[in-house]
Structure 1
Amino acid sequence: MLLSRNEALDLLRRYIKNERMIAHSLASEAVMRALALRLGRDPEKWAQAGLLHDLDVEITNADPAIHALETARILTGLGIDGDVVDAIRMHNEMATGLERETEFQHALAAGETITGLITATAMVYPDKKVASVKPKSVVKRMKEKAFAASVRREAILECEKIGLTLDEFAALSINAMAEIADEIGL
């Protein structure tokens, strides 16, 4: 089962109070929807994983050893689709120590991670807008050790495991985020 978007947003807001985290979740939802459409997968299922992937970030203090496991427990208790729960559980490899196996798992790891890099890249532009960001800028920033210190580059490179080049993935993600720029404050 999947929640309606309104139910998912209510659930997100029940657990997440930080507006920046909510914006990150909305951006991840948009990127995952775009990825699903590009790959011919279920956009609602993939978008829901993007929206809810960090549901436990505040209650676990983003502890890498347990982050995503509490979300998986909460969503399993609600009867959420098992593929969604598995993708969310696997987006944080530090908690499970397991290798991602499915296209969905690789996509969520890449999709939720690139939103942070695009946001950070936008912040270096005078107008601080996603529309100012170019794919080459994202790729360049990803390769800069200091700039990308808080971004798991390996997770972004998961895009290659679903058949997208890094440039194509960056462009798709920027476009998805630009469509909701007002909602996420960028």
Structure 2
Amino acid sequence: MSLIVGVDDCSSESDVIVVPSALDFVSQDDMLTPLGRLDKYAASENVFNRQMVARSLLDTLREVCDDERECIAVLERISRLADDSEPTVRAELMEQVPHIALFCQENRPAIPYAFSKYLLPIVVRYLADQNNQVRKTSQAALLALLEQELIERFDVETKVCPVLVELTAPDSNDEVKTEAVA
């Protein structure tokens, strides 16, 4: 009597059929480092993949948080992702910024400039983004950052206020002006 385990791999020397387990297969992504995975999907032509990268940035930071160089590398990739041409990717990134900023403050005191150097410039730039969804998401992120006291007073005075003053100038777009005042 033969023992049938499966149908995928049949050996002629025995009556046992062996079926490889799903655990026997290692995906290519599992072989990549966290930064390698981030780079692979950030460079994808598929918008959904790039949105997923934005959503997974905090998880990636958590994976590499013991290595200061890798944390800085993730922050640099965030800056590159901020240049994405797709508004949904930029808006998704902006939704993650307050969470990433809080994580950086709590877990990387060795990189005190992480927020000011890498994240705040993106928030400030997106306040004047051409896409309404990106602008509104950046405004919400800015409010969350202010409420959580994650922005230093110096940064508010030197980086945020000048942009808000510019956005509310008499010659600026009325829609953007109304949003900036709100």
Q: What is the TM-score normalised by the length of structure 2?
A: 0.30
